[in-house]
Structure 1
Amino acid sequence: MLRCTMEPRFCETDALGHINNTVVPMWFETARGPIFEIFNPGQDLAKWNVILRKMDVDFIAQIYHGHSVDITTRIAHVGSTSFICEHEAWQRGELVAKGTAVMIYFDFAVQRKLEITAEQRVGLEKLS
């Protein structure tokens, strides 16, 4: 499992005074950074090889500026060409959001899926 802490910025608040719902998917993507390293060490954009197929977010409670948010990420499933990440966001000990992201190992040059290698599978399974 991966863990990271996000510090909500004032600019991420909305007119209702809480963190805008568009921010959480970005936090979850940030939390996937170490997973991207498994597929593309150094995260060279010219060699990018992972694409988002689907994501969802359940907003459980409001998130506020001024209190850090802890994000946990785990790999829930590894298929032949894709994998599923599960995320949770916690603020002050309370689950405030959770979601999943389906990621595909992808060759952008030929626009097709790639088979996840044994080495990549081992890296992903360490995060389950």
Structure 2
Amino acid sequence: MTTKPTASNRADYPHFHVLQTRWMDNDVYGHVNNVVYYSWFDTAVNHFLMEKQALTIPNGDVIGLVIETHCNYFAPVSFPDMVHVGVRVANIGNSSVRYEVGIFRENDVTAAAQGHFIHVYVDAATRRPVKVPDHMRTVLQTILRA
């Protein structure tokens, strides 16, 4: 038997990236479509990596490929909400990193949605896995979940 997921709290995430929802993000049901959440995950993580100069996009020698992703939804988000995307690292492996992401409406304490994705870092030319670069590993440890 699987346990029902529960929403995380804003305090569980050491880094945030703020995004504005767009009119086109809403679906026919009046809330942000599920595929947009995955875009927010990717945007927040890659923004963090670029801001900290841990990853050079698009011309670096190492790139991250998403190999797994998952999301649980707890409350609707709709245009014109501002969303605060919380980011933390759950695990740093040899060539992979599991990121956990929480989606919070502007002033909410609990997540409207949360999930994870896993990057495998590869050589940009050969697409073969490589060790997570030392500088990136150091940066990722700053948001590693306790």
Name the TM-score, length of structure 1 as normaliser. Answer: 0.89
Map of 1:13 onto structure 2: 26
Structure 2 CA distance, aligned partners of 1:127 and 1:76? 9
* Count of paired positions: 126
- Partner of 1:95, secondary structure, is coil
Alpha-carbon distance, 1:50 to partner: 1.2
List gaps (5 residues or longer) in structure 2: 1-13
Amino acid aligned to 2:97? F
Map of 1:106 onto structure 2: 122
1:66 to 61, 72, 80: 80
Compared with structure 1, are the counterparts of its residues 108 and 118 closer, same or farther at alpha carbon in structure 2 (3 Å cutoff)? closer
Is 2:93 aligned against 1:79?
A: yes
Structure 1 CA distance, aligned partners of 2:136 and 2:60? 19
Structure 1 CA distance, aligned partners of 2:22 and 2:28? 14
Structural mapping, 1:1-128, within 5 Å = 1-32=14-45, 33-36=47-50, 37-40=53-56, 43-45=57-59, 47=61, 49-91=63-105, 92-93=107-108, 94-128=110-144
Alpha-carbon distance, 1:58 to partner: 0.8
Contact 2:96 2:121 in 1 (8 A): yes
Compared with structure 1, are the counterparts of its residues 97 and 117 closer, same or farther at alpha carbon in structure 2 (3 Å cutoff)? same
Amino acid aligned to 2:104? W
Over the residues paired in the alignment, what is the CA RMSD in angstroms? Answer: 1.6
Name the TM-score, length of structure 2 as normaliser. Answer: 0.79
Structure 2 CA distance, aligned partners of 1:121 and 1:15? 42
Alpha-carbon distance, 1:119 to partner: 2.3
Structure 2 CA distance, aligned partners of 1:52 and 1:96? 23
Structure 1 CA distance, aligned partners of 2:91 and 2:60? 27
More displaced 10-residue stretch of structure 1: 50-59 or 114-123: 114-123
Q: Which consecutive aligned stretches of 4+ in structure 1 deviate over 6 angstroms post-superposition?
A: none
Alpha-carbon distance, 1:110 to partner: 1.7
Structure 2 CA distance, aligned partners of 1:122 and 1:38? 9
Deviation track 1:19-43 (CA, whole Å, cap 9, x = no partner) reads 1111010011110122254132xx2
